[in-house]
C-alpha cells in the first residue's frame, strides 16, 4: 500500500471520527447552570472545545488507520470472512 493511499484513508477516517466525537462531552447552558444569550437555541453548546475534538479525532483516527493498514498487510479479515450469505440455510 502506498503512503498516499494511507494518507487518504487517514483523512477520511479522521473526518468520520471528528463527526462521531462531536456530541460527547458537550453541555448546554441549562446543564451548566449559566445564563443563555438572547436568541440562543436551547440546544446550543455552552462549552464547545474544538481543540479537544481535534486531538481526540487525531488519536482515534491514527489507531483505526493503523488497524486498517495492519489488516491489509496481514490479512486478518478478508472479503470471504464478510460473506454472510454462506451462512444462510
| Digit-coded pLDDT (tens) for 12-71 | 999 999 999 999 989 999 999 999 989 999 889 998 999 999 999 999 999 999 999 999
pTM tops 0.85: no
Place of cell 470472512: 81
How far is residue 7's CA from residue 68's CA, in Å, rounded to a whole number?
12
Amino acid 13: pLDDT = 98
Residue 79, pLDDT above cutoff 90: no
SS3 75: coil
SS3 88: coil
| Higher pLDDT among residues 86 and 50, named by residue | 50
Amino acid at each position: 500500500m502506498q503512503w498516499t493511499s494511507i494518507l487518504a484513508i487517514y483523512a477520511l477516517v479522521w473526518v468520520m471520527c471528528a463527526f462521531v466525537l462531536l456530541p460527547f462531552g458537550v453541555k448546554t447552558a441549562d446543564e451548566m447552570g449559566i445564563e443563555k444569550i438572547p436568541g440562543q437555541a436551547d440546544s446550543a453548546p455552552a462549552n464547545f472545545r474544538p481543540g479537544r475534538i481535534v486531538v481526540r479525532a487525531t488519536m482515534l483516527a491514527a489507531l483505526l488507520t493503523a488497524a486498517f493498514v495492519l489488516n491489509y498487510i496481514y490479512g486478518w479479515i478478508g472479503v470471504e470472512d464478510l460473506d454472510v450469505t454462506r451462512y444462510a440455510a
